[in-house]
Structure 1
Amino acid sequence: MHDRHTTPFALERSGTDGHRPAPPCRPAEARSAVERAVTERCRTRHLPCDAGALSDAVLVASELTTNAILHGGGITDFQVDVVGPGVLLSVSDRSADLPVAVAPTDPQGRRRVGGRGWPIVCRLARDVRVADLPSGGKCISVVVPLS
């Protein structure tokens, strides 16, 4: 059986009136959407929720949305689906630039501020995909395991 739960962001998007709600504009909203989707799945399926796995999914959502805001020109779309044993997160932004990992220190050996988001995403998520969007920008989709 294929277990799938979707947040209101994605559910409203498929409505017949063509209304598309605005994506979350802050990482806190994305974190809340992930928490709601995972807890709802656990509640309705009478499954235990792994607190560590939920924390990983929330952190990945936060990093992806923060990166879209800081480096991608803003969030243009956001979706969270609980599919089987994982959380599928998709974040779109206005930039076609690929995400990059930067060294934790500069050429003089000084510690850099920031630059840890993409490595965190790549460490915690599986099936990381970056796709160009026809209208410009990109969509980053990842699956964060829930077990």
Structure 2
Amino acid sequence: MCEEHRTPTVHERPGAQRTAPSRSCNPADARLAVERAVTERCRTTHTPCDPVALGDALLVVSELMTNAILHGGGVTDFRVDVVDADVSVSVCDRSDRLPVARNAADLRRRQRVGGHGWPIVCRLARDVHVAELPAGGKCITAVVPFS
């Protein structure tokens, strides 16, 4: 389970909330952490939360977590930061390989199963950043507006 710890950092803007797991987590736990962080932010700022935008953020975190598990050697870190009207989700894994979009069809023009996660993330997120980690692996951060 992703246990939540809100810890402001020097690099955060005023009013930011950060949630990070104390141990590894799965996609369902990550979705719950994002939902809690966004809901809490909306409640404390008396800002209405768009359920469609929240759904977009939940789908993005699901895809990033699943891709890290299936293609990245497992999740090494997960963070969710809520700043203003954005939710920033970061998922780190063990792989140095950058994510790529695959063709939807194979050489015989048959539809492939899977391969839709990265295009979904890129379509729903306003900003996506992939950073190499000093000890190896990468961290993908996607920013999704939630209002």
Q: TM-score, normalised by structure 2?
A: 0.88
Aligned counterparts of 1:39 and 1:57: Cα–Cα separation in 2: 12
Paired residues for 1:1-147 under 5 Å? 2-9=14-21, 21-24=22-25, 26-147=26-147
Structure 2: which 5+ residue stretches go unaligned? Answer: 1-12
| Higher share of residues assigned helix | 1
Unpaired runs of at least 5, structure 1: 10-20
CA distance in 2, matches of 1:128, 1:74: 20
Q: Is the 8 A contact 2:20 2:80 kept in 1?
A: no
Task: Calculate percent identity across the aligned residue pairs.
Answer: 64
Q: Give the secondary-structure state (helix, strand or coil) at the position aligned to 1:129.
A: strand
* Residue 8 of structure 1: how far off its partner (Å): 4.8
Q: Secondary structure at the match of 2:79?
A: strand
CA distance in 2, matches of 1:64, 1:8: 15
Tell me how large the CA RMSD over aligned residues is: 1.2
Matched residue pairs, number?
Answer: 135
CA separation of 1:40 and 1:22: change in aligned 2, threshold 3 A: same
CA distance in 2, matches of 1:140, 1:7: 16
The one-letter code matched in structure 1 to 2:23 is A
Distance of 2:43 and 2:36 partners within structure 1: 10
TM-score (norm 1): 0.88
Could you tell me how far apart the structure 2 residues matched to 1:23 and 1:33 are? 12
